Amino acid sequence: MVGSARRGRLASAVTVADLRAAARRRLPRMVFDFVDGGAEDELTLTENEAAFDRVSFRPRVLVDVSERPQHVTVLGRRLELPVILGPTGLMRMVDHEGERASAAAAHAFGTVSVTSSGSSVSIEDVAASVASPQWFQLYPWGDRGTVENIIGRARDSGFEAMVVTVDVPVVGAREKDLRNGLTVPPQVNPRTGWDLLRHPGWLAGLLTHPRPTFANFTGLMTEAKGTTGLAVYTNGLLNPAHTWRDLEWMVERWGGPVVLKGVMTGEDAKRAVDVGCRAVAVSNHGGRQGDSVPAALDVLPEVVDAVPADVDVLLDGGVRRGGDVVKALALGARACLLGRPWVYGLAAGGTAGVERMLAILRDEIDRTLALIGRPGVATLDCSAVGPWPRAVAGGLADGVPEPVRKS
């Protein structure tokens, strides 16, 4: 049930930036920073968004743009819009609906959400809460026994595809979390108390529901029984020894389509395909892992070039506008994953807030297509963006690089 204050907040949100502002007001600083912040100096976080600003459109005129379909096919499944709600763990820290909200909103909009293995609602409960199959995200936690167990649980729960995230051998240095004293679950103490008490709406949600923690692993680690710093807690679950051989084993154990998430080079994209992945997600984890890693958009063409045309390339990091989605698709992505945008929506208004975010992006994509003379996302290719600086265009006569993906 959405209260009138939340309804008002959502109705007045016109952009993802407005939802971010609403999230900032609703959440204690400690929780807002956990969502919004990045690693170290946040160079990669900033670059992810800046890279989209550097790309402009080449608008064509007098094209019949009366129809502008947005559907795409990813891993053989039709999605009604070219965005997927990406995996973000511990979402009941933001709102008690947690990961159920992204599954519900994705279902309502004819797309899919990816449930994190670090979810705060168990993967079984997320799967049972929604009529359409969702995707499951695996961190290569612990040992093979642990991984095999959660893969089996995800398969038995009906998840349709597995996204394996490989850019977290250890947790990045999210220094705001350290300074704020972020713990799992959040704790009211002299250091955090004032911040939490100043956000009574959020605090009431926290105190009237089970405390948020990694729901798929309770009991597995001793830390899960107490309250501990997020990075220490998560590092205790991870295993930095995994290699391509382990990935190959995971692909085989799952037996269905696998997306490798966290790919930032052509070499790794090729290798992912060699071990049986059907798709790759170009991602630097939203600038939350290594800092000074390039913007995801900047390496997209390299990855698209490296893999066969039937391998779906997804992209995330810095997508804040429908126009950003159009740019990514023009540069060869099949669809974009969204991280923070849906979490801002969740903070602002639960499931209704996530739906509001999707409605905003859908409208922006639609309007952008009309204004650049492209009758649908299927008509996008590299010639929709530019002009390119001479160095990028490589001296091509018309200043437009060859489309990176021809089919």
Query: Which residues of the chain form contacts with ligand FMN (CB under 6 A)?
Result: 35, 48, 86-89, 116, 118, 137, 165, 261, 283, 285-286, 288, 316-319, 338-341, 343
**Residue number, 286 or 386, with CB nearest to ligand FMN:** 286
**Residue number, 343 or 354, with CB nearest to ligand FMN:** 343
**Residue number, 31 or 65, with CB nearest to ligand FMN:** 31
Residue bearing tokens 């602002």: 348
What is d(CA 187, CA 180) in angstroms, rounded to the nearest whole number?
A: 11
What is d(CA 257, CA 252) in angstroms, rounded to the nearest whole number?
A: 10
Is 165 labelled a binding residue? yes
Q: Which residues contact 324 (CB under 8 A, 6 or more apart)?
A: 52, 318, 336
Tell me the residue ranges of DSSP E strands in 213-290: 228-229, 258-263, 279-282
Write down the least CB distance from residue 205 to ligand FMN, Å: 17
Q: Which residue is nearest to ligand FMN (CB)?
A: 339
Write down the least CB distance from residue 287 to ligand FMN, Å: 7
Angstrom CA distances, 181 to 33, 119, 149, 190, stand at 11, 21, 32, 11
Is 403 labelled a binding residue? no
The verdict on whether 199 is a catalytic residue reads: no
Tell me the residue ranges of DSSP E strands in 133-219: 135-138, 162-165, 183-184
Is 174 labelled a binding residue? yes
Is 137 labelled a binding residue? yes
What length does the chain have? 407
- Give percent helix, percent strand, percent coil of the chain, each to the nearest 5: 45, 10, 45
**Residue number, 33 or 381, with CB nearest to ligand FMN:** 33
Helix (H) or strand (E) holding 356: helix 340-371
Q: Which amino acid is at 329?
A: L
Q: Which one is catalytic: 96, 107, 242, 285?
A: 285
Write down the least CB distance from residue 337 to ligand FMN, Å: 6
Which residue, 351, 349, 352, 384, is CA-closest to 365?
384
Write down the least CB distance from residue 340 to ligand FMN, Å: 3
Is 283 labelled a binding residue? yes
Q: Which residues contact 370 (CB under 8 A, 6 or more apart)?
A: 65, 68
**Residue number, 212 or 318, with CB nearest to ligand FMN:** 318
Angstrom CA distances, 140 to 19, 107, 215, stand at 32, 27, 16
Is 354 labelled a binding residue? no
Write down the least CB distance from residue 19 to ligand FMN, Å: 13
Which residues participate in the annotated binding site for FMN? 87-89, 116, 137, 165, 261, 283, 316-320, 339-340
Catalytic residues, by residue number, are 285
Which residues participate in the annotated binding site for glyoxylate? 139, 174, 285, 288
Which residues participate in the annotated binding site? 87-89, 116, 137, 139, 165, 174, 261, 283, 285, 288, 316-320, 339-340
